[in-house]
Every structure is written in C-alpha cells, then in structure tokens.
Amino acid sequence: MKMKIVNNYFFVVLLSVFFMACGDDNPATPETKVHLKFIPTFNGQPLSIDSVYTNAFGQQLRVENIQFYLSNIYTHNGSDSTLLKQAFLFTLLEPQTLSLNVSPQTFSSLSFGVGVPGSLNKNVDPSQYANSNPLSVQGSNGMFWYWNTGYIFVKVEGRYELTGSPNAPLMDSYAFHLGDDPLYRVLHFNTGNVSLAEGDSRTFNIEVAIDSVFNRPVDSIDLSIDNLTHTTSNFPLAERVTNNFVSAFHLQ
C-alpha cells in the first residue's frame, strides 16, 4: 500500500515536470523601456485624413495613407551603440508608439534608418521570416516589390485638386512609393544624457511633419507634374520625395 502511494506521487511529479518544463521560473523583473512616440502633423497640427491641405503651389490635397519602415534603431553613448530593434513597419495616420525593451544603459543620442538597409533589402527572401516579422511576406503588408525584389521603404498616397477652388472635389490620386538601396537614409537625434536604471522608462516624442513631403523651402512638389513614382518609374522624383520625407522627423 505504501509503495502504491509512493508510485502515485512519483507519477504526479513526473507529469508535472512534463507539463511545466517550459514555465518561467524567474520572478518578474522590472522592465526597462524606451518608448518612441511618432506624431504625424501637418502645418503643426495633428494630421487628419479628413482635412484638405494646401501646398506651396495652391493645390489642395488630402493624405490617405502613410506607411514606412524604420530599421536599425540604435542608442549611442560615445563610440558604443546598442541595437534596440532591427525593423518596424509603421502606418502613421495617427500617433503610434513603438515600445522597446532595453537593458539599463546611458546614452546621448539615438538613430534609425528610414527604409530597410541593403543587407536586409536586396537578395533577401521574405518567406524566411515568421509572419510576425514586419519583413515577412505577410508582415510586409504590401511593402515589397516582387518583380525587382526589395522593400518599399515609404508609401505616401492621397488625392489632390489643382484649381484651388474651395469646394472642388479631390478626384486625382497621387502616390509616392519609395525604395531601393540608394534611398535608404539614417537619421541621428541628440537626446541629451539619458540614464536608464532597471525598471526605468523614457518616452521620446518624434514629430513627423507630413507637410514637409510637399512643401520644403528647398524643394516643393508640384502635384500637377509630380504625382506618381514607384521609384523605378521616376527615380529623380522618388529621390526628391525621400529627401523631403526624412526631413519631416523632429525630436521634440
């Protein structure tokens, strides 16, 4: 009888080992986090897909879609750099926050690429990634070119109207699909000295001033001429819009 009881206990313990072997035995440790909050604006106000804006040429436009990859997000402390995230795909019609678990650290600047770096772009097979990865076939959500393989770094799409008449419907479409290795851009931001101990978190607000895509002192986009590029179909325009787009990022 005693032997049977021992056997029963042994049986239960053995099963418990099987069922709970993958459990997390570590007590919860406070997470250290960096939050990057991206805030889309137009002329200093929150971007609205319902709003009609006017560009430098008096043309009316609406913004209907903004998607872009951020990649190689780093913090920097002198010559030391820490990778926080390899790639992330944003749809940015309203503020979005990217929350990153980090190790306790001190840094004075952060950087990220707009687009996908060459090592992850050309000759890379997106079907190798799990669906949850933004670089995967499904995770890329239409941001991959299949005829000339590589990621679409940035999409800005919407409608426009040229007469400037206040009640005119915005019937025509513009689309800027920007990609290819020469258009990859890396942005650096000074953060001041930031020291994160275990359990600390810090939020950085980054304004993305979408009006810069259309209106820049150095290069405004005349939608009557320049309203479509899939990069290869009009590389000079793609380069101009890329330069305008990356100028839109401001650390507040």
Partner 1 sequence: MRILVFFFLVAGILFGCAEPGLQDKPISFKQPHYFPPINFPEGNEPTQFRFELGKKLFYEKQLSKNEDQSCASCHRLPAAFTDGRAVSSFHENEFARNAPTLGNLAWSPYFMSEGGVPTLELQALGPIHEKHELALNMEGVIDRLKSRGNYSALSQAAYGRELDAFVITRALACFERALISGDSKFDRYYFLKSNDYSELEKRGMELFFSERTQCGSCHALPFFTDYQFYSLGLEDADIGLERRTYSAADRGKFKTPTLRNIELTAPYMHNGSMSSLEEVVSFYNNGGGTRSTKDSRVKALNFSKEEEAALVAFLKTLTDWNFVQHEKFLSAEED
- Contact positions vs partner 1 (CB under 8 A): 7, 11, 14-15, 18, 122-123, 125-128, 131, 136-138, 144, 146-149, 232-233, 235
Residue 15 or 197: the one with the smaller Cβ distance to partner 1 is: 15
Residue 204 or 235: the one with the smaller Cβ distance to partner 1 is: 235
Residue 101 or 149: the one with the smaller Cβ distance to partner 1 is: 149
Q: State the nearest-atom distance from the C-beta of 82 to partner 1, in Å.
A: 31
From the number of C-beta atoms within 10 Å of its C-beta (0-12, 13-18, 19+), residue 160 rates as buried
Contact 194, 112 (CB under 8 A): no
Torsion, CA 220, CA 224, CA 229, CA 234, rounded to 10 = -80
Q: State the nearest-atom distance from the C-beta of 127 to partner 1, in Å.
A: 4
Residue 146 or 217: the one with the smaller Cβ distance to partner 1 is: 146
Q: State the nearest-atom distance from the C-beta of 76 to partner 1, in Å.
A: 33
Q: State the nearest-atom distance from the C-beta of 227 to partner 1, in Å.
A: 17
Residue 95 or 139: the one with the smaller Cβ distance to partner 1 is: 139
Torsion, CA 139, CA 212, CA 39, CA 229, rounded to 10 = -10
Q: Hey, how many other C-beta atoms are within 10 angstroms of the C-beta on 211?
A: 21
Residue 57 or 145: the one with the smaller Cβ distance to partner 1 is: 145
Q: State the nearest-atom distance from the C-beta of 219 to partner 1, in Å.
A: 19
Q: State the nearest-atom distance from the C-beta of 23 to partner 1, in Å.
A: 15
Q: State the nearest-atom distance from the C-beta of 48 to partner 1, in Å.
A: 29
**Degrees (nearest 5) of the Cα angle 209, 34, 84?**
95
